[in-house]
């Protein structure tokens, strides 16, 4: 399987705290993307980081990418209850068109 | 950004029937579309790559005779779950590649009774 892995599988924090999720993948990539999914709903695209980038910011989101370790992290600062969702990384492989998702992190932000 | 739609958004059917799910790219043409399946509390698993005008490419372990894919035009791919069974109940999501990345449909929830 080319599916990546994420940790932790589940994370529960208090509102206002920061949340960090990690993603590891297996193949060479063009880019890596992070998505959010609320329970039973579709995917919401959060941020894309290209293979030649090391860090990217978008609002309260900060993503890092280490291609030598084949890993990425997503940091959500000053979390809110509305951030409660599952978060997935997805890799856009260097060869082929396929997109492979990580196993996901379920984040719960307690008000 | 590009928009991908799916229809229906929800379907309930009896065991043994076939169900067709449509995936459309609304404002762009997509020579390649992808179908994913997501079981409750799990990640999205790529099922197959749909290529316009040619046969789909299936991931290992996905039965091509069970999940029929037709990519008849540059804006439409269909997934037909044949002789559906309760274990096929899942959330099916399609995506289309455009502008260097993939855009996802809102998903179709299939429940087989």
Q: Pick A99's closest partner by Cβ from B95, B100, B107.
A: B95
Q: Please state the rounded mean pLDDT for residues A23-31.
A: 89
Under an 8 A CB cutoff, do A97 and B34 touch? yes
Task: Report percent pLDDT > 70 for chain A.
Answer: 94
The whole-number pLDDT of residue A1 equals 56
Q: Band of the pLDDT at B2, cuts 50, 70, 90?
A: confident
Using one digit for the tens of pLDDT, what is the confidence trace for A28-76?
888 899 999 998 788 898 999 999 999 999 999 999 999 999 999 999 9
Q: Please state the rounded mean pLDDT for residues B41-58.
A: 89
Q: Which residues of A touch B107 (CB under 8 A)?
A: 41-43
Determine the Cα–Cα distance for residues B89 and B105; give it in Å rounded to an integer.
18
**Rounded to 5, what percent of chain B is helix, strand, coil?**
5, 55, 40
Q: Pick B93's closest partner by Cβ from A33, A42, A45.
A: A42
Q: Band of the pLDDT at A96, cuts 50, 70, 90?
A: low
Strands ordered across the beta sheet of A71-76:
A5-7, A19-24, A71-76, A61-66, A55-58
The whole-number pLDDT of residue B40 equals 86
Mean pLDDT of chain B: 92
pLDDT greater than 80 at residue A98: no
Q: Decide: residue A6, CB within 10 A, 0-12 exposed, 13-18 middle, 19+ buried.
A: buried
The whole-number pLDDT of residue A2 equals 61
Residue A81 backbone zone (phi > 0: left; psi -120 to 50: alpha; other: beta): alpha
pLDDT greater than 90 at residue B68: yes
Mean pLDDT of chain A: 91
Around B68, how many Cα atoms within 13 Å sit in the side-chain half-sphere?
11
Q: Pick B46's closest partner by Cβ from A35, A92, A99.
A: A99
Instruction: Please check whether residue B64 is in contact with residue B56, taking contact to mean a CB–CB distance below 8 angstroms.
Output: yes
Instruction: Please check whether residue A61 is in contact with residue A74, taking contact to mean a CB–CB distance below 8 angstroms.
Output: yes
Determine the Cα–Cα distance for residues A3 and A7; give it in Å rounded to an integer.
13
């Amino acid at each position: 399987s080319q599916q990546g892995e994420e940790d932790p599988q589940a994370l529960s924090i208090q509102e206002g705290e920061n949340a960090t999720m990690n993603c590891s993948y297996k193949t060479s990539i063009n880019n890596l993307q992070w998505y959010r999914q609320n329970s039973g709903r579709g995917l919401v695209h959060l941020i894309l980081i290209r293979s030649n980038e090391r860090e990217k910011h978008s609002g309260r989101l900060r993503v890092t990418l280490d291609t030598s370790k084949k890993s990425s992290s997503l940091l959500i600062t000053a979390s809110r209850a509305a951030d409660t969702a599952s978060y997935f990384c997805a890799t856009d492989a260097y060869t082929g068109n396929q997109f492979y998702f990580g196993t996901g992190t379920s984040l719960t932000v307690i008000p | 950004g590009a928009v991908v739609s799916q229809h229906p958004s929800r379907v309930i059917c009896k065991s043994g029937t076939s169900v067709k799910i449509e995936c459309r790219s609304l404002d762009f043409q997509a020579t390649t579309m992808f179908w994913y399946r997501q079981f409750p509390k799990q990640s999205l698993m790529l099922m197959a790559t749909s290529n316009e005008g040619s046969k789909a490419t299936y991931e290992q372990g996905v039965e091509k005779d069970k999940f029929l894919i037709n990519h008849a035009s540059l804006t439409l791919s269909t997934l037909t779950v044949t002789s559906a069974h309760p274990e096929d109940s899942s959330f099916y999501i399609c995506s289309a590649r455009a502008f260097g990345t993939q855009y996802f449909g809102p998903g179709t929830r299939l429940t087989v009774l």
